[in-house]
Structure 1
């Protein structure tokens, strides 16, 4: 697997829905189109919420992994 280089890392460990997505939304607004954010979460609801966030806004979900109890996502900011 190729490594994805993130421009920003967002640590939402320990936070519950809807906080991880709210933090992601706030952070992605500050980013330039094409930049990548890596999100680290512990809330299983992010497995549903973050892909939906990408479809709705539209940003690109580059990859998602689950390592131990952490959910890790790489998103590329879209044109919106």
Structure 2
């Protein structure tokens, strides 16, 4: 069994702005600084909102991709 490439996950599928970012704001605090949080969402507005969230709050957006109508982000928590 392989180790996941993230420390925690947030499933925001089916939620619409501003809920995914509000949930992200709470969930990122459960991750240690430097840890990785994987976010899965279906709201296209997250393609704008999550990069801005990271920029303003000092987190690193490690990756973002769209696959089968889902938006998948990996965020490294800042200090």
State the TM bucket, normalised to the shorter chain: over 0.9
Aligned to 2:12: 12
Return 5+ residue gaps in structure 2 as ranges.
none
Aligned residues: 76
Aligned to 1:59: 59
2:49 paired with 1:49:
yes
Residues 1-57 of structure 1 deviation map (CA, whole Å, 9 limit, x = unaligned): xxx811011100000001000111101112210110000000000000000000000
Q: Any residues of structure 2 matched to 1:13-28 within 5 Å, and which? A: 13-28=13-28
**Of 57-66 and 4-13, the range deviating more from structure 2:** 4-13
Return the TM-score normalized by structure 1: 0.92
User: RMSD of aligned C-alpha atoms?
Assistant: 1.0
Return the TM-score normalized by structure 2: 0.93
Which stretches of structure 1, 4 residues or longer, exceed 2 Å deviation after superposition?
none
